[in-house]
Structure 1
């Protein structure tokens, strides 16, 4: 019996110390990985297999955009190809960088075309990226929506932006907000909000002010370097960072090129809305998060809770549902991977 699933591709920050060796463990010898390595060598960059097989995880090497982005893309796309035959994908989405992986997973670009996009944008972000990002929770430990708390955080953001520095909403992760701006804006926000669990506000290393207008020069450079001819009609529906759906046979390729290398780079990425729209429009049996990493699971669950998906009203009900029959599977989790992988 087939399982109808929405595939979710992860973004930056998901290839960390525990993910070192992910490609070797799950995709050793994959022809596509060899092709990616050849493309990296041709560009004078370290092959992915070399990075993945390093003796130790080095943040100065593995977390920078020119290396992290292609590593994450390769893990996600090869995981998509490793799905079990009884899994019927009904749609694809992703978080931030995961949009590039989603394009390839849905057939809107070839695997090599997607690798060219992610490699180019990762290199541009590494070389020209400005500002940074901070993560801060907008729900409590029960994962239930807290509109007042969220509104208070947005008021703080609006008061800081343009007065004490630059601060914008970069990514809406459901229960977490990713804020981006210049160092001054990030510093004022850090001082203005309470510390939570000794972790938040959390500054993300080697991250620029993604999904804000500070990235406009990078978006322009990306459009100049990456032609419209890379794009083609997707074979699966894709939900983007606005919650908009790109349909097979009905996608305007010029618009897809413009969005991917325009608004997707410079405007807020509403991942929570993308998840909600995927749930409501396609009613999947399961959400599958491609590797690497497992950190996106909480954000997907929190996004589903915000729309009361299948009666989910908090962390406890989600955990109960997971024990009965998994609604959410992370391929980066060895135990859960067996559910999704062939």
Structure 2
């Protein structure tokens, strides 16, 4: 019996697949498509044909630049399509002889990628939605974001820190001309969105942690906040409900809601994606908790590029005590013996997941 026959008799491992959001294609990821996806020329060309019509630089050219440019590679109109190409290419590479994909989700922009993974957007619809929403602030950002920890040193949510963040947000919003909102619940972190006045007050009031936090996120707008009202309206006008289809794989959104092939109302999916999802906090922590509790995956696969979502993923699982993890030490010990969290942006873990390994 050869290895393929042996593998065919093994039961498939159930996996939850998670797509990253903005900010995961950094200096080390330059060339990600060239290194890992030279066989995806047709898929990449499809994306670039759409971008060519919009007079935008091709993602193939962006990925093959000799030097990483913060301004060029992190701008919304470039980063969104580039990250989508990397993540979706990774998704295509998952070894489906070995893994059964039981559900998909994503962080922030990763929701759009999850729609593509599940088939709720076909390839034409996916690049149209992702590129359109990513390009909405090409002429100037609306507000911004910063990130701040709300966990202890063992990666457990800290209620004292959570209450302090909430009280400071309330205080800042009561000050003249200041707006500050929770944007993303990200494992052990809170991402806050606001106008410039609100963000500056946060930077002055939030206690400094490790000379790193509060950390402003470069080239990010005030995503998932009321400041995006115009973006939401423009998105709905540009992207019709007809683009959306019933998913082939269950999807978990930023409220922890499950969308299935049988229960999905595509009009409501369109409204959520371009309405509530744009304007209200994205609860990634809850999405992961639902994924772990409702689908009981044997493993969680995080798509690339990069591995910036690894920590927040582990923290989200710890928060729900999935895999018996109650703290950072539990996570590290498990990962060293029998990894439950596999990041395709990590070359060693990629080999475990990919059909090309």
TM-score, normalised to structure 1's length? 0.98
User: How far, CA to CA, are the matches of 1:138 and 1:98 in structure 2?
Assistant: 22
1:169 and 2:179 equivalent? no
Out of 118, 128, 145, the residue aligned to residue 106 of structure 1 is 118
Which residue in the other structure is 1:263 paired with? 276
Q: Which moved more, 1:126-135 or 1:320-329?
A: 126-135
1:199-223 CA distances to partner (integer Å, 9 max, x unpaired)? Answer: 1111001101100010010010011
Is residue 141–residue 219 contact of structure 2 (8 Å, CA) maintained in 1?
no
User: How far, CA to CA, are the matches of 1:302 and 1:59 in structure 2?
Assistant: 28
Quote the offset at 1:129 in angstroms. 3.4
User: How far, CA to CA, are the matches of 2:137 and 2:114 in structure 1?
Assistant: 19
Which residue in the other structure is 1:61 paired with? 72
Q: How large is the Cα RMSD of the aligned pairs? A: 1.0
Out of 328, 332, 356, the residue aligned to residue 319 of structure 1 is 332
User: How far, CA to CA, are the matches of 2:230 and 2:203 in structure 1?
Assistant: 27
Out of 66, 75, 83, the residue aligned to residue 72 of structure 1 is 83
Which residue in the other structure is 1:154 paired with? 166
1:40 and 2:51 equivalent? yes
Is residue 129–residue 215 contact of structure 1 (8 Å, CA) maintained in 2?
no
User: How far, CA to CA, are the matches of 1:267 and 1:128 in structure 2?
Assistant: 21
1:10-21 alignment runs, 5 A limit:
10-21=20-31
1:230 and 2:240 equivalent? no
1:92 and 2:99 equivalent? no
Quote the offset at 1:127 in angstroms. 2.9
User: How far, CA to CA, are the matches of 1:194 and 1:37 in structure 2?
Assistant: 44
1:301-316 alignment runs, 5 A limit:
301-316=314-329
Structure showing greater radius of gyration is 2
1:191-340 alignment runs, 5 A limit:
191-340=204-353
Q: Which moved more, 1:161-170 or 1:277-286?
A: 161-170
Quote the offset at 1:128 in angstroms. 5.0
Which residue in the other structure is 2:18 paired with? 8
TM-score, normalised to structure 2's length? 0.94
Is residue 121–residue 244 contact of structure 2 (8 Å, CA) maintained in 1?
yes
User: How far, CA to CA, are the matches of 1:74 and 1:162 in structure 2?
Assistant: 42
User: How far, CA to CA, are the matches of 1:53 and 1:313 in structure 2?
Assistant: 42
Quote the offset at 1:97 in angstroms. 0.3
Quote the offset at 1:40 in angstroms. 1.2
SS in 1 for 2:135: helix
User: How far, CA to CA, are the matches of 1:301 and 1:198 in structure 2?
Assistant: 23
User: How far, CA to CA, are the matches of 1:338 and 1:125 in structure 2?
Assistant: 37
Q: How many residues align?
A: 342
Name structure 1 gaps, 5 residues minimum.
none
Out of 103, 109, 124, the residue aligned to residue 136 of structure 2 is 124
Q: Which moved more, 1:309-318 or 1:61-70?
A: 309-318
Which residue in the other structure is 1:142 paired with? 154
1:283-313 CA distances to partner (integer Å, 9 max, x unpaired)? Answer: 0001101111101011011011111112211
